Amino acid sequence: MLADQAMSVDSKTVKKIASLARIAMSDDEIEAMVPEFNGILGWVEQLGEVDVTGVEPMTAVIPNVLRLRDDVVTDGDIRDKVLANAPAAEHGFFGVPKVIE
């Protein structure tokens, strides 16, 4: 994207992003966030000034490949640990507020 087509957000967009991320924010906080978002977007868009024609996208700073694990069961059977931090757990299940769509 070229710098002169800079993307910008308004408070409505910030509100929607907050809602999608399930983060509760007051109107004041949202207003404060608008220039911060736009600052970040403007900074990222500066990168658009660099000509990267013919340059392969880079995914890691050092050459590295994705490692795969063997298909062996090495984990699990730690129910108590898994449930240890749960606000509610019963009969080996997590308990969450009833959610039916």
Partner 1 sequence: MTESTYRIQGATGEWEVVIGLEVHAQVTSNAKLFSGAATTFGAEPNAQVSLVDAAMPGMLPVPNGECVRQAVRTGMALNAQINRYSRFDRKNYFYADLPQGYQISQLYHPIVGEGAIEISLDEKNPDAHTKTIGIERLHLEQDAGKLMHDQHPTMSYVDLNRCGVALMEIVSRPDMRSPAEAGAYLKKLRSILRYVGSCDGNMEEGSMRADVNVSVRKPGDEFGTRTETKNVNSVRYVMATIEHEASRQVDVIESGGTIVQETRLYDPDKNETRSMRSKEDAHDYRYFPDPDLLPLELDDTFLDACKASLPELPDAKRKRYESELGLSAYNAAVLTAEAETARWFEALLTESAKAQGKPEAEVAKAAANWLLSELYGALNRMAKTIDDSPVSPAAGAELLALVAGGTISGTIAKQVFEIMLETGEGAGAIVEARGLKQTSDTGAIDAAIAKVLADNADKVEQYRGGKEALFGFFVGQTMKAMQGKANPQMVNELLKKALG
Spatial separation of the C-alpha atoms in residues 32 and 65, rounded to whole Å: 41
Q: Which of residues 26-85 bind partner 1 (CB under 8 A)?
A: 59-60, 64-79, 81-83
Residues near 4 by beta carbon (within 8 Å), at least 6 away in sequence: none
Which residue's CB is nearer to partner 1, number 28 or number 87?
87
Interface segment toward partner 1; rule CB under 8 A; list 13-21, 26-34, 35-43, 46-54: 13-21
Which residue's CB is nearer to partner 1, number 24 or number 66?
66
- Is 38:74 a contact under the CB 8 Å cutoff? no
Helix (H) / strand (E) element for 89: namely strand 89-90
Where do contacts with partner 1 occur on this chain (CB under 8 A)?
A: 16, 19-20, 22, 59-60, 64-79, 81-83, 88, 90-101
